[in-house]
Structure 1
């Protein structure tokens, strides 16, 4: 720009020199006698013609310089706009708040345009409705009273096309008659688009002059709208990503908690039920809720005979070792038939079948578990000199099965009269003997060998009960 100003100065000086020469020539023509100066006049005429040519040249040069100046001014204005746009892009990168970015955009629009009013409207994707983010008025005292919603109603549908709208004169635009009646002379509307979806709009108007906004300003505001739209989309995707990550993390935590619960249930119940049942319990812990339900089960009690007397002659360490060895045999036999170990009671064990999951052959499973106990003890006797035996009692019937206790501590157990009878049968059984009730016998008589005993009086019962001694399974039995 300094070089252009210098050029203007030189051209202006040349103009002055030409004017001065013209003045001298005119003076000489007026005071010299024509008869004696014919030759001089010819030379002066030639000089005047050359000066006229120079004058035309300088005029064209001046026009060219003016055009260059205008072009450079426009270039400077574009550079300024590009610098401002770059600042907006920098802000959009550095900050996460869309509010701060919108305020920066508003400041730029105020500085670079002749707008009397600026509206920045964002469409809320959740509510599917427009939301005014910023509303700026240059001179509120002179601004006609009109709500932003009225303006949006007048222009909102036109923004759906996705194309900017530049109205130099609202009087010549019938579609904008409502705004014209409110004093709007010219306006510029630029939609904020992302992938052909309307995200919002930038609205500028002027109340004092037509043609207040140029095509260049339209392009600048369009570039600004692109930056805003990109930031809105980034924020939307970021929020979706955060929500997805939150849901994923939440699901992962829930999954980990469920796995911990399953591991706990497996660890807890693997000592009392078969691995298959423990896995089913881990998959569906709801069956372990506090409380119980009435159902038919088969109950098995097994007690080590003579252990009390034996305990008086053995060191405590050997006593515990022996007790664990025999109870482990009983537990293995029960779990092999997928029974549920209720509890260990000193030198005895209680178990039941058909809970927590149904078993169609639960009576037969209980019988096989009892015979397994006897056989395992016989195998142990081949290796150990100390020989102990189990007395076993089996009954079937309805009982309440479930978690008994409190939410802090509970036991999965069975309660009922049928449980008491099984316990009494176990107490009456001799070493190595398995006593079963009449109900159990009726269920397995076609698959087992049993011997009827004389009716026995069972503690707590008013009548004598039929009792059978289980001998073995038939060869055809599974």
Structure 2
């Protein structure tokens, strides 16, 4: 076996059929992993039958006890699994690639040698399938404004969006190092495909964030992840770089006490949004860009990534992730994955926001259309700032109309018929007012009040009001015929213009 631990140390260990190999953090194991997320006795490989069976747990007093953090094979939790060549076993932060070596030439016909096996631990795939039970972090993220110096790794918006469609496996033949790169790309594609499929039916921002952080915890060694969104105007434009928290999660409970006073560098978040770049620091405490930042120094942060929630048209916020382990740091691969997850999250956020915006507009349109002509409603929705609070002084024409003798009519007619008559009358009159550019101000019992020249004034507002009054009187002739046919008494209307 070739073992690569989270701190980068690599060593070899041979595994042959016919015995059992224990794996864990304790020195008494056959395979000792220097990994704080590995149990003292975590798992074992039973090769006594000739096959190599991975078992999660260890035997004590004749009883099989399972590990706390579990064992993953190819990203799936397994209690027992017969290993095949090419399987990836993840234990804690160590990833073990199982390989069967070619059988040596034996001396016939005495015996046939069983094939040996080897494990290769790929540090780049660390945590690809590590167990994740994220916990919500307390709300109330704080900011500091430490000056920005330099960053170790930076990825532009063009790279962030473009790499999602260029994660391909180009070479039909590849070196071992290239194969590692291809495996990482394949893993990233798998995670992104899973994310796109999951987010397709999600319309809640907090649920979107939970789905995104699940993938970040699975694909990177992040200890804490925070999602911050920017406020937007009613037409979808970002107001500024002020952010509000929609969620904060930790990998496990041991980090909960470190999130009570979680502080994020405003300098970093503003740079990420303004310049549309993703930033990575592999040792944040020694990086000049974080110099003096409470968010870094006081919390013992060793490595950070901040990626924009970016689409082709907007930057909706950022995803911030950090590591607290002094022996491990983020890599450029982690930056690429978190940036890609952030970009996909941003697309979903933009869709959800657009959906909510359209729903608000539809409700507003339905409400406004009861009192205003269509062109005024359209102007109000497209440019709400054009309508000032407090109103404005301008010359208008006011139209009043009511039914003559309505009091006597209502006294001799049952209420249902009165309501039916008013509905027919108001519907017909309102259509005429809107057709002539008027705005309905209110209904007053059996009367109505409309204005011409507000909120938008034209040189012919008074003329339009007169034309509307004439059209209303003409409309009463066929309307009375309709009322008579329906069993109502004909009515007369009086109209005044001011």
Greater Rg, structure 1 or structure 2?
A: 1
Q: Which has the higher helix share?
A: 1
TM-score normalised according to structure 2 size:
0.39
Structure with more relative contact order (C-alpha pairs < 8 Å, separation 6 or more): 2
